[in-house]
Amino acid sequence: MVGRLPHSLYTPLILGAHLVTKIGIVGCAGRMGRMLIREVLATPGCILAGGTETAGDIVGTDLGLLVGTKTLGIAVTADAKALFAASDAVIDFTVPAATKIHADLAAATGKALVVGTTGLGADVLAAVHAASKKASVVRSANMSVGVNVLLALTQKLAATLGDDYDIEIVEMHHRHKVDSPSGTALALGESAAKGRGVSLSSAARRTRDGQVGPRPKGEIGFATLRGGDVVGDHTVVFAADGERIEITHKASSREVFAKGAVRAAAWAAAKAPGLYSMADVLDLA
């Protein structure tokens, strides 16, 4: 692990033959934010540039103490603009309203942005797209390497099997998740639709209740389950007469999302402005 440098030295640098990426974490006090901090500290070639939270008692707390390690000499701040200035890349797993602000800051500073926030509305997506004209932006509904392999497989199977196979996407998350279907489930639907050469908006069926009639050919269905502390389970079912194919990814720890996000941040910091996905990061595109 590369040691922490004083803030006065937070400029693009190379140590030995290795490029060092300075990574900032917005929403650093949340469960995912703390995990991201730990992952940055544990990743060779990455330096923790800082972390932000909205004003409150947590502001001013040392980031090392926040995650249960030794003191780092970097305090939680409420100044997102300063964090972008100190970073090569910023990771955002917050809420849509905050993501819009961070996208605007990425555009203003030209610093790379990794967006893992889900449930983005049209206004936030527009801000993310605008930011990608000035900075490299990686946006993904799921930063897990395994999930992104699942997305690629879903598109390939949908293209290969055709609409003789009914597609159903089943997802389960913990009881506290607020958006439904999950962003990952919708991304899987987009992959299936792309494989079939159709738009998801025209093929999706999100709910069934009552006398809904026979299943239309070509429909892409979604089923949402919520309960307990499930981190994230996703299954894509391809069902035909006489056989069924199911491909599943189950996350048992949020560490997989943190690992993927930090990998994306280091990758994006060296890229030209543009809107990228984890498929680009992993060379699956």
CA geometry: angle 135, 92, 67, nearest 5 deg: 135
User: Which is catalytic among the residues 81, 134, 177, 194?
Assistant: 177
Catalytic, 173? Answer yes
- CB neighbour list of residue 204: distance below 8 Å, 6 or more residues apart: 189, 193, 219, 220, 221, 222
Catalytic, 177? Answer yes
DSSP 234: E
CA geometry: angle 221, 224, 228, nearest 5 deg: 160
Backbone region of residue 31 per phi and psi (left: phi > 0; alpha: psi in -120 to 50; beta: other values): alpha
Tell me the two tokens of residue 102: 């961070």
Helix (H, G, I), strand (E, B) or coil at 103: helix
DSSP 277: -
Tell me the two tokens of residue 85: 């200035």
Closest CA to 171 of 148, 155, 188: 188
User: Which is catalytic among the residues 173, 234, 249, 259?
Assistant: 173
Residues catalogued as catalytic: 173, 177
